[in-house]
Amino acid sequence: MSELKYKRILLKLSGEALNGGDKSQIINSDILSQYAQEIKYIVEAGCQVAIVIGGGNIFRGASQNSGIDREQGDYMGMIATVINGMAIQSALEKAGLNTRLMSAIKMEQVAEPFIRRRAIRHLEKGRIVILGAGTGNPYFSTDSGGALRANELGVNVLLKGTSVDGVYTADPRKDATATKYDKISYEEAINKNLKVMDLTAFALCKENKMPIIVFDMNVAGNLMKVVQGEDVGTLVGE
């Protein structure tokens, strides 16, 4: 097996990835076990893994149009990410991996509180650290939570696992002429409004020179290729 290029990573998955595109269900167990296998390969190869998962398959504060106040909705969204974190924790443990779920909102019966030094210790011991409840604050997204934790935990790269294979000149699902970037700078992505992540998340990565790789998490073996430094997806960096 070739050397790992990235020895500590943060994997950001959207909540919607978990239902496999089927909005009639919240969590698809096949997707969960498929993701667990992909993650298992890289952990067994020696990669330290932190995971931030979204909550969009359950609840999104800002866009829900439910009459619920923004802040209340955002807290509901954060709690939704803990539910997804528990689901992924269960799938990873079924695959024989050691995990810790840490939450930015105290929920001691189900998750450890997020303590940076403790999270790093877990990573060093080879435990997968699942980070629930985003930043713990309303008005943020789990992309921002991912960017924040990636920097705090000193990962080598933030991996954004999606259902498209990278960043395109336009939305490839709407524009057949769209082409994929292999590499793009933070500036170019912002100037071209390519929406790799929301601006808060993006600014945090740019300021701290945290590279981001956007790749298709649904292709078997892709995650391993990314951590080995193969040309998969799009690298956003300086």
Count CA within 13 A, CB hemisphere, residue 25: 12
Would you give the binding string for ligand UDP spanning residues 153-192, x where CB under 6 A is met? ----------------------------------------
Cβ(27)–Cβ(18) under 8 Å?
Answer: yes
With respect to ligand UDP, which residue has the nearer C-beta, 26 or 45?
Answer: 26
Task: Say if residue 28 is exposed, middle or buried (CB neighbours under 10 Å; 0-12, 13-18, 19+).
Answer: middle
Is there binding between residue 132 and ligand UDP (CB under 6 A)? no
Is there binding between residue 137 and ligand UDP (CB under 6 A)? yes
How far is 204 from 114, CA to CA, in rounded Å? Answer: 19
Number of residues that bind ligand UDP (CB under 6 A): 25
Residue closest to ligand UDP when measured from CB atoms: 54
Q: Cite the annotated binding site by residue number.
A: 12-15, 55-56, 60, 74, 135-142, 162, 168, 171
How far is 147 from 221, CA to CA, in rounded Å? Answer: 24
Region near ligand UDP per CB under 6 A, out of 10-18, 41-49, 91-99, 124-132: 10-18
Is there binding between residue 20 and ligand UDP (CB under 6 A)? no
Q: How far is the CB of 138 from ligand UDP (least distance, A)?
A: 4
Find the binder of ligand UDP among 60, 100, 149, 206 (CB under 6 A): 60
Is there binding between residue 14 and ligand UDP (CB under 6 A)? yes
Q: How far is the CB of 15 from ligand UDP (least distance, A)?
A: 3
Find the binder of ligand UDP among 89, 99, 135, 156 (CB under 6 A): 135
How far is 161 from 184, CA to CA, in rounded Å? Answer: 17
With respect to ligand UDP, which residue has the nearer C-beta, 4 or 57?
Answer: 57
Pair of tokens at residue 188: 């170019």
Instruction: Look at strands 212-216 and 234-237 and give their pairing.
Output: antiparallel
Pair of tokens at residue 160: 């954004």
Cβ(8)–Cβ(154) under 8 Å?
Answer: yes
Instruction: Name the nearest CA neighbour of 226 among 171, 170, 174, 182.
Output: 182
Cβ(155)–Cβ(207) under 8 Å?
Answer: no
Q: Cite the annotated binding site for UMP by residue number.
A: 55, 74, 135-142
Region near ligand UDP per CB under 6 A, out of 77-85, 110-118, 154-162, 203-211: 77-85
Q: What 3-state class would DSSP assign to 198? A: coil
Binding site for ligand UDP (CB under 6 A): 14-16, 54-56, 60-62, 73-74, 77-78, 80-81, 134-135, 137-138, 140-145
